[in-house]
Amino acid sequence: MKKFIAIIALALAFTVTGNAQDNMKTKATSVTLEQTKGEFTQKALTLSEGDYIFEIANHNVGKQVGFVLVPKGKDASKPENHIKTAYVTKVVENNTTETSNVTTLTKGEYVYFCPLNETPQYTLTVE
């Protein structure tokens, strides 16, 4: 009987965790960024503090693209400085769109870029 109760408790814990993640996704604001060859079409962004899902569109770049977000002032070439939740969940194939996980942004400045598409670094400001 104790084993049965433990299994039920474990199943409920996974259900609650899954529902919490789903609820977080529904409260997150989607931000769509489009990439063309060598650049993002959005050169700067200003957002409020909160939870965001980044939707990255590859518009005829001709190769896979991605998305990197880093607090401004940190070395963007070092992956340990990247905000990993902002990475797209898989590379964005030509003429498709992919999304990131939910990313919580606090006040400050960030830079975003794509190393695969070799874009410049653009500024994202959170007020």
The yes or no reply on domain 28-126 and CATH 2.60.40.420 is: yes
Q: Are 115 and 100 in contact (CB under 8 A)?
A: no
Query: Which helix (H) or strand (E) element contains residue 115?
Result: none
Q: For residue 9, is pLDDT > 90?
A: no
Tens of pLDDT along 24-74? 456 999 999 999 999 999 999 999 999 999 999 999 999 999 999 999 999
Tens of pLDDT along 80-107? 999 999 999 999 999 999 999 999 999 9
Q: Are 99 and 89 in contact (CB under 8 A)?
A: yes
d(CA 56, CA 8): 39
Nearest to 61 by CA among 43, 98, 88, 34: 34
